[in-house]
Chains A and B, each alone.
Chain A
Amino acid sequence: MNHPYDDFPHLLFSNNTATATSTSSCVEQHDGISLDMDWDWDCDFHDLIESMMNDKGTTTESPPLLPCYHGQEGISSSTGLSMADELDHDVEAGESKGLRLVHLLVAAADASTGADKTRELTRVLLAKLKDMTSPNDRTNMERLAAHFTNGLSKLHREANVQRQCGPHQHPDVYDQVDVMLAFQLLQNMSPYINFGYLTATQAILEAVKHERRIHIVDNDIKDGVQWPSLMQALVSGNTGLSAQHLRITALSRATNGKKSVAAVQEAGRRLTAFAESIGQPFSYHHCRMDSDTFNPSSLKLVRGEAVVINCMLHLPRLSHQPPNSIISFLSEAKTLNPKLVTLVHEEVGLVGNQGFLYRFLDLLHQFSAIFDSLEADPARGFVERVIFGPWVSGWLTRIAVTADDAEVESVASWPMWLATNGFKPVEVSFANRCQAKLLLSLFNDGYGVEELGKNGLVLGWKSRRLVLASFWASCESSE
């Protein structure tokens, strides 16, 4: 009788051979070098996730294939058989440990959606993952898996609040100094942060070239690190004519608490001091929002100034702004007739209303790309711990919450929202594009800049989009 499962046997046994010893011996080869996790994510797990979610009946539409950056190269057909063949070639035990970790993570994510019924299973899986990983491990995947395990564990704990009686329930709180330091270090390891700043600044400079007064409304100024370079450029751009006056209004939201107020004020102090030191006419305003809704009338406006809206969404924030808050901000800001809206965000997490599992895998994919893209650096472990740990946890909490709330995440993409809500695209200049490419050349091979329409630039790592910068203006604003 023709055995129906002929494809399976080698699948089984390849897993069997991945023992702990062989894994470690393989890992040693990659001493200090990041393991390139260039798997065929889409197909290896796409089928699996889709099948799992069909069981739950969550999706009515089949999830789109994750956007590929460098075209569809390297993606084999998504049949089980070809996957079996691929696995046949997975000789490296190191890579197979990574694969095993992903399987365990997916299983844990799946089990975590089962509430009480699978609570024990979730716990067991997380315990196993914790055993197998550590934020200090050698390979990227292991460290990343450790962060994801922590994030999932947090979710698991929070979901079972009544059962806890342990004292260790603090969130991951790091000293502000450490956080700032980590961000600085991150800027050395990756263009992730600076890409947004650089392209936005360039676009702003171009937009306000002939303006006498510039008013930037900054949605989330953080430590203000975006603006010194703009000020420098303004100062050096002055050719004897009266200098352009720069005003920055930084917003803080009540929901973020006192810390954000203090941070905004501190940023103001630093920027004012810096502006003074280079001779840039500058004034700083702090707009405290009591609720999440932005009221443009609370801004101080000066006649004749060009308004620029700066919206940086791509970095781990103190607390995430829910999309509704951003939508409200942008809608209200539109009434100011901004000359330019700079929008920078991550390409991750909330893609339509897919189920939790799909978003989870997407998130894993995204972070593994980011992890891979970071330069090797002695401080890397510190950066991973201070920034990535909370970053991953934050995202996991978000996608877990929105999994239930279908209405929240209906923003398929910010560019699309802007395009259909009274904003017109502002073209990216050639100079901006070149500058972006120049930035990338300072880092690892594998980064690339892609154009998105006429008004957008995408920073990508291999086949994965990381950060998207797009530029807009309100439809009524004069050119």
Chain B
Amino acid sequence: PYAGPVESRNEAAMSELVQEPRQKPVVPMKPVGINANLLGYIGIDTIIEQMRKKTMKTGFDFNIMVVGQSGLGKSTLVNTLFKSQVSRKSSGWNREEKIPKTVEIKAIGHVIEEGGVKMKLTVIDTPGFGDQINNENCWEPIEKYINEQYEKFLKEEVNIARKKRIPDTRVHCCLYFISPTGHSLRPLDLEFMKHLSKVVNIIPVIAKADTMTLEEKSEFKQRVRKELEVNGIEFYPQKEFDEDLEDKTENDKIRQESMPFAVVGSDKEYQVNGKRVLGRKTPWGIIEVENLTHCEFALLRDFVIRTHLQDLKEVTHNIHYETYRAKRLNDNGGLPPMAVETEENNESNL
């Protein structure tokens, strides 16, 4: 039938369980490409409009996770990014609330609309990360949550009668907040990013960047980039997924100059030069969030929302999810406990 790639014997694909299909007609199955010259306008390019209309009707899902120690301004930043109260700020731990013993995962979803485009945005917060005395393995609940979403999607995909549109709860983007110490990355930062960069798109951001001068900022960024490279941490946009030269040039610039973005967040507006701007008021001046000379918030916003949002979803779907799926279907290969449980259940059923 279809002249696809030859599978090696070790890849026990499900297709091997399929019985021999019915007898086929004698036809060349694999089409040969021929370039044809058009003698006039037909209207093929209208498919772009058709596609755009369809996608606007169905709407988009986007799931963004924020990770970092408390007090780094995660919720404020996300609210600033999406210009609405998508994330509830925790005002520190009251005496009545206990500091959670482990990392909690809190996902809150909202629907926002702009320019006729409807987006179901889910912000996943991780309170408790890095807040304990002993923070060993505090990335595990996060990794578990991410894999659970892949598992949910896989279960739906593998059903016989499947939904027309499988609900997508997979984490498309994980913003990791780095403390603006000005020195280097902390061991916890490195450990987290080392583990998680293999399963999700990580975008490191330097939080509360208004505590650093321009020189300190630039030096810190360079040092962070170096450390990430030395530790083999591939943050988004990953080099190996650049599709063509255009992507590579664009992404190289972002990877080597702009990232990690040094950001400041705010939901308060102030009057500056006759305009209302988002900012932070201090005795020594007003820090304008969307002013590129003050901080890189605008770069982060444009990067995540205006240019690479679809790509974040596609890398999650085509690469991270596929990796998870392949591992899962290939007899687990070292996945977290949840997968092992299923295997044990299977054994008992058999």
Co-complex (A, B): no
Residues of A within 8 A of B (CB): none
